[in-house]
């Protein structure tokens, strides 16, 4: 039992191949990330192929970031609960946790904010539910 989270790690500021190999070697004992990162210019991305119970991620990553003080680490976490997604940044032994938030675009057709429940079914037709965009003439 326990709480499972999926992780993705980004690393910036890797100076050379030797430093990258050292980072990989220090991540290996965690047994979480694929040891073959994707590279996007100066950014390296480490995937995990499963979900894990990594409760000490902050302490572990602070320690690793101390070993590579010129590298910035960005760890994404996506937990079991719908609202448990976050990113934690690490640099030279320091960390900053940022909680994720779901954000949706506002509706463009239904005027949700100004909808008033009709008193009867007969009044449904007259209820200002639809924005003008809904009643606009169709092209074609």
CATH number at residue 67: 3.30.70
Q: For residue 132, what pLDDT is reported?
A: 54
Instruction: Indicate whether 27 and 40 sit together in one domain.
Output: yes
Could you tell me if 140 and 78 lie in one domain? no
* Same domain membership, residue 126 and residue 85: no
Reference 81, options 104, 47, 48, 51; nearest CA is 51
Assess whether 19 and 69 both reside in one domain. yes
* Residue 39, pLDDT above cutoff 90: yes
pLDDT per position as a tens digit, 83-129: 899 999 999 999 999 999 988 888 887 777 777 666 766 665 655 55
How many domains is the chain built from? Answer: 2
Contact 19, 64 (CB under 8 A): no
Q: Which domain holds residue 129?
A: 104-140
Residue 13 has pLDDT above 80, yes or no: yes
Give the pLDDT score at 121: 66
In this structure, the number of other CB atoms found within 10 A of the CB of residue 61 comes to: 23
| 82 and 114, same domain (yes or no) | no
Q: Global pTM?
A: 0.75
């Amino acid at each position: 039992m326990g709480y499972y989270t999926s992780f993705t790690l980004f690393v910036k500021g890797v100076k050379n191949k030797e430093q990258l190999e050292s980072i990989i070697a220090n991540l290996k004992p965690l047994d979480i990330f694929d040891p073959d990162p994707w590279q996007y210019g100066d950014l390296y991305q480490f995937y995990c192929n499963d979900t894990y119970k990594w409760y000490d991620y902050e302490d572990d990553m602070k320690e690793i970031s101390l070993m590579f003080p010129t590298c910035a680490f960005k760890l994404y976490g996506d937990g079991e609960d719908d609202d448990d997604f976050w990113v934690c940044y690490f640099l030279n032994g320091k960390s900053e946790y940022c909680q994720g938030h779901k954000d949706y675009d506002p509706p463009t057709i239904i005027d949700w904010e100004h909808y008033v429940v009709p008193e009867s079914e007969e009044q449904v037709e007259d209820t200002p539910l639809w924005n003008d965009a809904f009643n606009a003439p169709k092209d074609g």
